[in-house]
Chains A and B, each alone.
Chain A
């Protein structure tokens, strides 16, 4: 298969970026999208045409959340429920023109070409996206039974890989699905209850501070999430956040 690629090139955060056009030939339909870019880079280095295209990637099996490209206007491309590394060229037609861009959001500045800085997600988690337990001194694992459906729903939310596709897909660059998934995962479980009110408040405040936009219920995030995290998590987040504002019984520690 042959493709014409229009790729966003940007030297560093300060530089102005633009699209450059490259062609690749004889690509196997079983080739993954990132392997196709590997082939392009080999070509660019070998023929000394341009610097290889920088893109983030690591596990290449759809779980680390490192890769993420905006392909023909869709985060992770035109296949549902997969990350960019699991997208295969058989999903395209021979001769296709493909537009490849980085995630675009104020909170995710471009580092180089298609690589963006997603440390804002880490900062949201650091603000409170965990259960504050230190090592040791915890009860036996089977001490608190958790109904199977509750554990399953917590797991559904916990499957988020933190790739940032939800933010990239959202016209407001909102991180509500990401935050909602973590809030839901932890607050569904009995272990996460004691800090639930504080957690949601801290995470939402951090999210706002870092420049993520508001949610206007377009739900592009849900449509594009490679792990198919559900919108119900956003509803749960809103519910818990509002409840936390009216909770007069607890005093904030900060």
Chain B
């Protein structure tokens, strides 16, 4: 396997310009002859399809929900970063680049990250032109807030619904192209297989997909000159996460099985501020935006007896005197305080709870307190800034966060790992591109808050329209690809066999039963902290559970019908394999970095300790068949511009 990142020559700040000046173009008449498939309608997928359609290509776009506007990007709350420096507080492209590289704990590719920072400003311009109602100040200018891992205010936001507004902007652009006929929309369709066809030179290229029509259960074939995967992350392997119920890793996993390398699967982001788990029946965890850390202060009691009384419900948070409160983030990280990056904040919360200072009925929660901010700014201002988040919290927990502190605990939120892509966002399969959370490219071992929206839109609006064109320039003489090719027959058959196999088991336990069990293994042993022993345990337990699944799962109904249980079973079958790869990756990376914390590799005060000498590379895995150990390929990381240091958020 060849891991050529294809990074353009020249100084960092000129790479993207040089690329654009030298890439191949496709003339307007030829664009009409070229078809592109986009799987996923989130920020990356919708923005890519809209931009490519506007250029004149024909695009088929697919989503599993009933409308493209439902994609999980819609749930992003806090904001989107951009190096506009509207606040005159010292921001620049250079600084956004450095913050992102540092936030990712020096495990991201420099050239990609610089390009991301470079186009960040264009994203805001684009969104405003589309009518995204970003927050403004009284002069009518755009307002900003701060997010973790930065000392400037560069986050643009639309109340607590930034993802929704950005997605509706991209959805609008997409809808316009659908109306013009350049994009064809397919809803309630799930990608089940990638189709590869050899060209005249014997090179296997991504040429189509097989989808399951979720309403009829029938399989459908679509062919194209290139396939873009924008299907999001795989956080739901943990069962409980902040992801939507239907978010899943299967499309990416299917591509991996067909030959696309999977990079850094063990980099999973655990978000520090989520509503704690409260029962076995729980289906998902709800995020409370990182933006709350602008005004909320995180604390636990200083005394263990207070923590115990709080857990038993004998005391209320407001009963604890100021001097008996431990604002542990402010104390440990004076320079960044409550706004340390997510991995740091999550680990600190876990450390306090494990030490016996956790609150709430389960002891697995810390306080996020707005009393100071309300005293300083007044309840009206806080309501304006975070009203919808406070309402959401109140509806779920039945507690009023204006008068009692919120209780929060870390939860799985985002996956930095994903399909390996080069500078052009092309995977190791020619003609298969991956964008947004589905790829691994920009966040290293830890993503900074408000950077996912930036990356999704950067990939879709400003990167793929160039790099896909460069790829397609060689394809203009091919003509439309036929779905009658035998490769489509084989792919379709493979999907049918998987479905039939699942249906035939006729066991006694539901899909969710197994998914919950897998989630518990992953959270317990491959969660916020990992070590050799826990990871080995996880491997054994995953194997055992998978075996049981294939013997005893019950998938009711028929194949050719509306059958959500079948959808879930197909996804879970892939999660077992994915879980094994996450564990293997975590096991091989004997260092701590970003969200990946190996207890064997920590400093005296419990911070992550990297091993740059041995692990400064991207781990890209090659599939070797079910149950077999995957082959590790390494893409070394070179830092020519960013100074590699130990992350320090203390001073």
A positions within 8 Å CB-CB of B: 12, 28, 30-32, 34-35, 38-39, 41-42, 45-46, 48, 51-52, 54, 56-66, 79, 81-82, 86, 88, 90, 111-112, 115, 117-119, 121-122, 125-136, 138-142, 145-148, 151-152, 154-155, 158-159, 161-162, 185-186, 189, 191-192
CB of B281 within 8 A of CB of A52, answer no
Residue numbers in A under 8 Å from B13 (CB-CB): none
CB-nearest residue of chain A relative to B143?
A148
Extra inter-chain contacts (8) besides given A86-B392, A88-B396, CB under 8 Å: A30-B278, A58-B246, A65-B70, A79-B395, A133-B126, A138-B125, A141-B134, A159-B159
The 8 Å CB contact of B66, one of A60, A118, A147, is A118
Output the least CB separation between A49 and chain B (Å). 10
User: B215's closest neighbor in chain A, by CB?
Assistant: A111
Complex: chain A residue closest to B554, CB-CB: A45
Q: Which residues of B contact A31 (CB under 8 A)?
A: 279, 281
Interface 0/1 of B155-184, CB less than 8 Å to A: 000110100110010011101101100000
Q: In whole angstroms, what is the CA distance A108 to B214 when docked?
A: 17
Q: A110–B164 Cα gap in the complex (Å)? A: 26
Q: Report Cα–Cα, A111/B216, bound state, in Å.
A: 10
* B140 interfacial by beta-carbon distance below 8 Å: yes
Q: Is the CB of B51 within 8 A of A135?
A: yes
Residues B75 and A59 in contact, CB atoms below 8 Å apart: yes
For the complex formed, measure the closest distance between the CB of A2 and the CB atoms of chain B, giving whole angstroms: 15
Taking a contact as CB atoms under 8 Å apart, the answer to whether A126 and B175 are in contact is yes
Give chain A residues whose Cβ lies under 8 Å from the Cβ of B72: 58-59, 64
Residues of B within 8 Å of A62, CB to CB, are 392, 395
Q: From A63, A65, A135, give the contact of B126 (CB < 8 A).
A: A135
In the complex, chain A residues whose CB is within 8 Å of the CB of B158 = 155, 158
Q: How large is the interface on B (under 10, 10 to 19, 20 to 34, 35 or more residues)?
A: 35 or more
Residue of A nearest to B76 (CB): A63
CB distance from A19 to the nearest CB of B (A): 19
Let me know if B283 and A126 touch, CB within 8 A: no
- Complex Cα distance A133/B47, Å? 12
In the complex, what's the smallest C-beta–C-beta distance from A30 to chain B, in angstroms? 6
- Does residue B122 face the partner (Cβ distance < 8 Å to A)? yes
Among A35, A41, A125, A131, the most chain B Cβ lie within 10 Å of the Cβ of A125
In angstroms, Cα B508 to Cα A48, docked, is 9
CB pair B130–A86 under 8 Å, yes or no, is no
A151 and B135 contacting across the interface, CB-CB below 8 Å? yes
Report the minimum CB–CB distance from A89 to chain B (whole Å).
10
Among A28, A42, A185, the residue within 8 A (CB) of B510 is: A42
Shortest Cβ distance from residue B287 to the other chain A in the assembled complex, whole angstroms? 8
Q: How far in angstroms is the closest Cβ of chain A from B509? A: 8
Q: How far is the CA of A32 from the CA of B392 in the complex (A)?
A: 13
Interchain CA distance A170-B491 in the complex, whole Å: 46
Q: Are A58 and B165 in contact, with the CB atoms below 8 A? A: no
Contact B395 A88 (CB under 8 A): yes
Asked if residues B74 and A28 are in contact (CB atoms below 8 Å), the reply is: no
Q: Is the CB of B281 within 8 A of A28?
A: yes
Q: Quick check: is B465 within 8 A (CB to CB) of the other chain? A: yes
Q: For the complex, is B129 an interface residue (Cβ under 8 Å from A)? A: yes
Q: Cβ of A132: which chain B residues have Cβ within 8 Å of it?
A: 176
A180 to chain B, nearest CB (A): 16
B365-401 CB contacts (< 8 Å) to partner A: 391-392, 395-398
Taking CB as reference atom, which chain A residue is nearest B246? A58
With A and B bound together, what is the CA distance between A11 and B287 in angstroms? 35
- Known contacts A54-B562, A129-B172, A42 near B512 by CB under 8 Å: yes
Contact of B430 with A by CB under 8 A: no
| Closest Cβ–Cβ distance, residue B87 to chain A (whole Å) | 11
